[in-house]
Amino acid sequence: MIYQRAIPADELFSAQLEMLMQNGRIATISANMLGVLATIVLFWQFVEITWLLLWACGVLIMLLARSLYMSNALVERSYQDRPRRVYWQLLLGAVITGAVWSTAYIAATFVAPAPVQYMFLLLIFMVITLSMGVTLALREYFIAHLFTSLWPIAWWCLAHYWDEANNLLVGLFTLAVCGVLLLVSNRVYLSFRNMIALNWEREAMSRELGDLTQSLRDRNRQLRDARRQLTDLANVDELTGLGNRRVVNQVLRDEINRARRSGAELSVIMLDVDYFKNYNDTYGHPAGDGVLQRLADLMQRATARAGEVVARYGGEEFILILPGASEHSALRTAERLKELVIAECIPHGTSEVSEFITVSQGVVTVCPGANLEPADLIKVADRSLYEAKDSGRNAIAFAGV
């Protein structure tokens, strides 16, 4: 992702058009409307009121049409899709508006005395000056309005200097005003361009930072997911989907500490499939894997309480961790698991205790003391499991600590 430090020329041009229409639409229309109202007040004694109102209505309609065009261009964003077309239409509107004022002044020289003419010229200066600050986002727009309004007035006065004593002075003064406004407009225009470029750079940087932040969030989420997957791979037995020995050690340590603090009991069931080696030799290891997966489902069905954990300890050995379970509750769980395994009726033709798969279970229940470690509890459960095997398998043996 590369940050672009300079605004492209086409984007700068579109931004100038947008700024002109957003800021200049209301200001220029308002300034010209005020000029029209002032013109009515100024000339109502010298021009028939009907013609004066007709002129004012025509100018207002033209101004409203320009405002509507700018509004539509902003809504439709045509200044981005067709910037050159919008540009020339805006210039045309500025030329027509300027021509309206210069034509009105020249016409006023035939009907109004010189003092009124000069007041009208000052009014035109005011309209142009008021609109200058918001129209210089696009220099050509202001220049078109300036030269079509004041330039013809200046040359008219110079060309008719003999009609009024002050026409020569007014013409020269008007040309001087055009020059001053042109110089000032150039400085203001450059300031507008710099402001637009600076705002664009800030927005571009903000977008880049936003994209970068989102990219970092996505990358962090991917890393969290990857860490979670790695943790699952490290803690989950691939064949059965149960926890592995690492999970057993961690859970036992946590549950021993919790039971030690609360004074509650903790039970563990160690389980082994009877004559599983014979089963693998007879039916094959894929079939043996299927048996382990079915047993994993049965053990999860046998443990319904919150916090109880089922894990594969190794080979055909499984372990059930039963927090808060008493001796009676743990033996009941073992009996339920034994019944579920028998009810599953998984054929085992080489078993010496049944024609179906059976399991041996060692149960241990403790109230953890200060020195009890997870390995100690597993040793007791494993010893209890071997007692169940020694008693003929398909059995449950209990040991207390």
For residue 132, give every residue at least 6 positions away whose Cβ sits within 8 Å of its Cβ, in sequence order, or none: 142, 181, 184, 185, 188
Lookup: tokens for 137: 């986002």
Does the pLDDT value for residue 48 go beyond 50? yes
Active-site residue set: 316
* Average pLDDT in the chain: 85
pLDDT surpassing 90 at residue 290: yes
| Kind of pairing between the strands at 309-314 and 317-323 | antiparallel
Q: Is the per-residue pLDDT at 321 higher than 90?
A: yes
Instruction: Flag the least confident range among 94-98, 165-169, 274-278, 309-313.
Output: 165-169
DSSP E strands in 303-376: the ranges are 309-314, 317-323, 359-366
Interatomic CA distance for residues 227 and 235, integer angstroms: 12
Average pLDDT (41-51) is 87
- In what order do the strands lie in the sheet containing 396-400? 309-314, 317-323, 266-273, 359-366, 396-400
Q: At 158, give phi and psi (nearest 5°).
A: -65, -40
| pLDDT tens figures, 241-267 | 888 888 898 899 999 999 988 889 999
Buried b (16+ CB within 10 A) or exposed e, 34-47: ebbeebeebbeeeb
CA neighbor of 197 nearest in space, from 19, 2, 396: 19
* Other beta carbons less than 10 A from residue 74's beta carbon: 16
Higher model confidence: residue 232 or residue 325?
325
Residue 264 identity: A
Task: Give the residue from 393, 324, 323, 319 showing the smallest Cα distance to 363.
Answer: 319
Rg (CA), the chain: 47
Name the residue with higher pLDDT: 6 or 398. Answer: 398
Confidence (pLDDT) at 231? 57
Q: What is the DSSP letter of 270?
A: E
Query: What percent of the chain clears pLDDT 70, i.e. is strictly above it?
Result: 93
Residue 1: what pLDDT? 44
Output the pTM of the full model. 0.50
Ramachandran bin of 284, using left for φ above 0, alpha for ψ from -120 to 50, beta for the remaining angles: left
Please give the pLDDT value at position 233: 56
Write out pLDDT tens, residues 72-127. Answer: 888 888 888 888 998 899 889 889 998 999 999 899 888 888 888 889 989 988 88
Q: Residue 345 carries which side chain, given as an amino acid letter?
A: C
In this prediction, residues 156-176 reach a mean pLDDT of 84
